[in-house]
Amino acid sequence: MPVLKTIDFWSGLAFAGIGFSAWATALGFDSSSSAYPATLAATLALLGLALAFKAWRDATAQTATAEGVHIILQGPALEIGVWSLWAVALWAGLGYVGPTFVACTMLILRHADDRGLRLHIAQALSVSLVVFVIFYLIFKVPLPELDFIRDLLE
């Protein structure tokens, strides 16, 4: 069956599984702190199911291409490696914004065409900064940061 050969189908199922697991965990929190993580987890689960459904629908409409098989064999290793290096950089104390910008840049450039390099780098920077502003400055979630950035924000 061609749908079993597409990475989007398996990624969607993985996101749905993680989302439902996180949602069940978040429901166990006290009522004052469960709404946001439960909503975020449910959104991840629903988007994962939507991705898996779209991959299933597309696979039934046409057969898998050689490019799709190529992504299955080589694509996930790059993503896993990038996010593993990102986690090591956070653990090593390199802050949040720098490693996130580098990881986002690598992944956006991996999946984008060669045109618009500056636009892709701007996208990666904006994703890094918007997530930082939302979680660190608005929600007051402690993110690992370098001392000079922390001094600028205080």
Q: Which of 81, 102, 99 is nearest to 91 (CA)?
A: 99
Give me the pLDDT at residue 1, please: 58
Give me the pLDDT at residue 62, please: 59
Q: Which of 124, 84, 79 is nearest to 101 (CA)?
A: 124
Tokens 């949040």 correspond to 96
Give me the pLDDT at residue 66, please: 45
pTM of the model as a whole: 0.50
Give me the pLDDT at residue 61, please: 66
Give me the pLDDT at residue 147, please: 74
Report, as ranges of residue numbers, the positions in the chain whose pLDDT lies below 70.
1-3, 61-77, 111-115, 150
Give me the pLDDT at residue 32, please: 73
Q: What is the DSSP letter of 93?
A: T
Give me the pLDDT at residue 64, please: 44
